[in-house]
Chains A and B, each alone.
Chain A
Amino acid sequence: MNDNKSKSPERGERTARGRISKARGWVALAFIGSVGVGLALHTGTGTYSAFGIDQIAAICPLGALETLLTGQTPTWHVLVGLAIVVVLVLLFGKAFCAWLCPTPWLQRLFRRGDGCDAEVLSPAAKPTEDGRPQSVEPAESNRDEGFRTVETERADGSSLDQEPEQPAEVGDAEQVEQQVENASVRALPPVGGARDGFHLDARHAVLGGALVSTAIFGFPVFCLVCPVGLSLATIIAVWHLFQFNELTWGLLVFPAITIAEVVLLKHWCHTICPLGALISLISAGNRTFRPKVDESQCLREKGADCTACITVCPERVDPHMPMIPECTKCGKCVEHCPVQAIKIPFLK
């Protein structure tokens, strides 16, 4: 996906584009690589389900919760692992989703650029009340269109035709005065994303279902179909095929389930994934590494109806908003902001 960008002619202001995406790719690849090293060298570091050194390992929070509900008594390792994960999520929010989880990459691979993060709104299509975009178009065209729109608006000032909402307390006379005064630099209010703020949705229902069925059946149920676990299970099965000549049904079934989930269920990340749901519950407390918009540079402050950051956001949040627990720190808004007004600092 990065190749497309590097091949296309780029303007100076877009040179940073793709850098964070590339970094995310390398981080995810490095993690998979560490699993490969573990397979070859017996390091015992682990996989997405549990990763660490010796007795100290971060653990899949969903798996850990499931083991606590099975009726058996796990050892203290679970609680330490859970604590590590809670601290990591409080520190990095939902970064796992964008930086480590293989699902978005699989979606890109098998859906030809129509992946998880392609569910973006075209600049014109504002979210409707139920949070769904009115029109969804292929990602690349969307992005370019987003920029063209911005450019045009800046050039001909057409965005100024739109009436921004004025605060209620501002009087009529004052309002007119302000309009005249700020005709060229009137700030537009933030658009807001469909998934801003903390809210419960279908994913949390799946999460509840996974936990309840685990309590009923007495074993971690979601692990059977987890695309994260199964994608690594596929790698391990392929490894065993070459190392031990083990030809098993898993070689077909594991990738088939994974691909069926992430490709056929198009909105896996936003509407089904119980792991993301659980992480989002914790990431509501995340206060670090949140995207920060430099309002003095943002085009909306200068009156242009730019929605590049929201348009490109795979999680459909608005980096202008203070509370966006769904933000995965993917850096797309940073990369796509036409004036580089967005950064992801340690503290906002």
Chain B
Amino acid sequence: MCAVGGVGVAFTGESQLLRPPGGQDEDRFESLCLKCDRCRSVCPCSCLTIATLENGVINARTPRIDFHKGYCNFCGKCADVCPTGAILPGFDPDGDKIGIAVVDHDECLAFRGGGCERCVDACPYDAIDFSASYPVVDASRCNGCGQCEYVCPSNVLRSFSGSRSTRGINVCLEDEAAS
């Protein structure tokens, strides 16, 4: 059993994942998640998916957020059904963050030719400023709900495995967004 634990730790993998709202404390999440699949199953917006072995041995089968499949409306159902509290209830969309949206200048259509304002229109929190004719994210207002990434048309037809899987605007973990 210790060997199994050791293998788990050895192949944890570097990838940090976007967790469901309330599961942002990664240490706590890793310790308590039983990989029971209830949160992914209950998610009405389909933004929750299951991490794979490629995300690390311990991360495999845990829930992660994929904003290509849906966005988060902070309904809190995933926290309700979590049997261990790995996803803590009481996530506040006005203060807590899943992550922060970051514009990819190479992929954003507004940077490449202009005209696209889909993310600005989609953002329910007025966190994207378009006064400069390209999107600029206000990190203090953005809570990482993912609506911008969900509607972003960039790369949507090339998002199958083997091609680039990022959009013109992508929700990243807070520390990744800062760097």
**A128 located at the interface, meaning its Cβ lies under 8 Å from any Cβ of chain B in the complex:** no
**B133 located at the interface, meaning its Cβ lies under 8 Å from any Cβ of chain A in the complex:** no
What is the CB-to-nearest-CB distance from A45 to chain B, in angstroms, rounded to a whole number? 7
**B50 located at the interface, meaning its Cβ lies under 8 Å from any Cβ of chain A in the complex:** yes
Query: Is the CB–CB distance between A245 and B161 below 8 Å?
Result: yes
Determine, out of A88-96, A118-126, A195-203, A216-224, the stretch whose residues face the partner at the interface. Answer: A216-224
| Contacts of B130-179 to chain A: CB distance below 8 A | 160-161
**A131 located at the interface, meaning its Cβ lies under 8 Å from any Cβ of chain B in the complex:** no
Q: How far is the CA of A46 from the CA of B42 in the complex (A)?
A: 9
Query: Is the CB–CB distance between B1 and A44 below 8 Å?
Result: no
* A55/B58 contact (C-beta < 8 A), A42-B44, A221-B4 known: no
| Contacts of B43-70 to chain A: CB distance below 8 A | 43-44, 46, 49-50, 52-54, 57-58, 60-61, 69
What is the CB-to-nearest-CB distance from A261 to chain B, in angstroms, rounded to a whole number? 11
Partner of B36 from the list A50, A75, A212 (CB cut-off 8 Å) is A50
Known: A217-B9, A221-B8. 6 other contacts (CB 8 A): A49-B34, A57-B81, A72-B31, A77-B85, A210-B1, A220-B31
Query: Is the CB–CB distance between B36 and A219 below 8 Å?
Result: no
**A244 located at the interface, meaning its Cβ lies under 8 Å from any Cβ of chain B in the complex:** yes
What is the CB-to-nearest-CB distance from A215 to chain B, in angstroms, rounded to a whole number? 10
10 A–B pairs (Cβ distance < 8 Å), ordered by A: A44-B77, A57-B38, A59-B83, A224-B7, A224-B8, A224-B58, A236-B37, A246-B161, A248-B52, A248-B53
Give the number of chain A interface residues (Cβ < 8 Å): 61
Residue on A nearest B161 in the bound complex, by CB: A247
Query: Is the CB–CB distance between A250 and B58 below 8 Å?
Result: no
Chain A: residues with CB nearer than 8 A to chain B?
Answer: 35, 38-39, 42-47, 49-50, 52, 54-55, 57, 59-60, 63-64, 66-67, 70-78, 81, 206, 209-210, 212-214, 216-225, 229, 232-233, 236-237, 240, 244-250, 253
Q: How far is the CA of A66 from the CA of B8 in the complex (A)?
A: 15
**B84 located at the interface, meaning its Cβ lies under 8 Å from any Cβ of chain A in the complex:** yes
Q: How far is the CA of A206 from the CA of B38 in the complex (A)?
A: 27
Query: Is the CB–CB distance between A229 and B32 below 8 Å?
Result: no
Chain A residues, Cβ within 8 Å of B73: none
Q: How far is the CA of A60 from the CA of B80 in the complex (A)?
A: 17
Query: Is the CB–CB distance between B34 and A218 below 8 Å?
Result: no
Chain A residues, Cβ within 8 Å of B89: 75
| Contacts of B88-135 to chain A: CB distance below 8 A | 88-89
**B41 located at the interface, meaning its Cβ lies under 8 Å from any Cβ of chain A in the complex:** yes
Partner of A219 from the list B1, B30, B38, B82 (CB cut-off 8 Å) is B30
**B27 located at the interface, meaning its Cβ lies under 8 Å from any Cβ of chain A in the complex:** yes
Q: How far is the CA of A67 from the CA of B81 in the complex (A)?
A: 16
* A224/B53 contact (C-beta < 8 A), A44-B41, A67-B84, A70-B32 known: no
Q: How far is the CA of A60 from the CA of B81 in the complex (A)?
A: 14
What is the CB-to-nearest-CB distance from A80 to chain B, in angstroms, rounded to a whole number? 9
Residue on A nearest B80 in the bound complex, by CB: A55
Chain A residues, Cβ within 8 Å of B28: 72
Chain A residues, Cβ within 8 Å of B83: 46, 49-50, 52, 57, 59, 64, 77-78, 81
What is the CB-to-nearest-CB distance from A111 to chain B, in angstroms, rounded to a whole number? 24
Query: Is the CB–CB distance between A229 and B35 below 8 Å?
Result: yes
Q: How far is the CA of A240 from the CA of B49 in the complex (A)?
A: 9
Chain B residues, Cβ within 8 Å of A222: 1, 4
Residue on B nearest A57 in the bound complex, by CB: B83
Most buried by B among A213, A218, A224: A224
Chain B residues, Cβ within 8 Å of A225: 4
What is the CB-to-nearest-CB distance from B43 to chain A, in angstroms, rounded to a whole number? 7
Q: How far is the CA of A44 from the CA of B36 in the complex (A)?
A: 10
Q: How far is the CA of A210 from the CA of B142 in the complex (A)?
A: 41
What is the CB-to-nearest-CB distance from B76 to chain A, in angstroms, rounded to a whole number? 11
Q: How far is the CA of A23 from the CA of B110 in the complex (A)?
A: 61
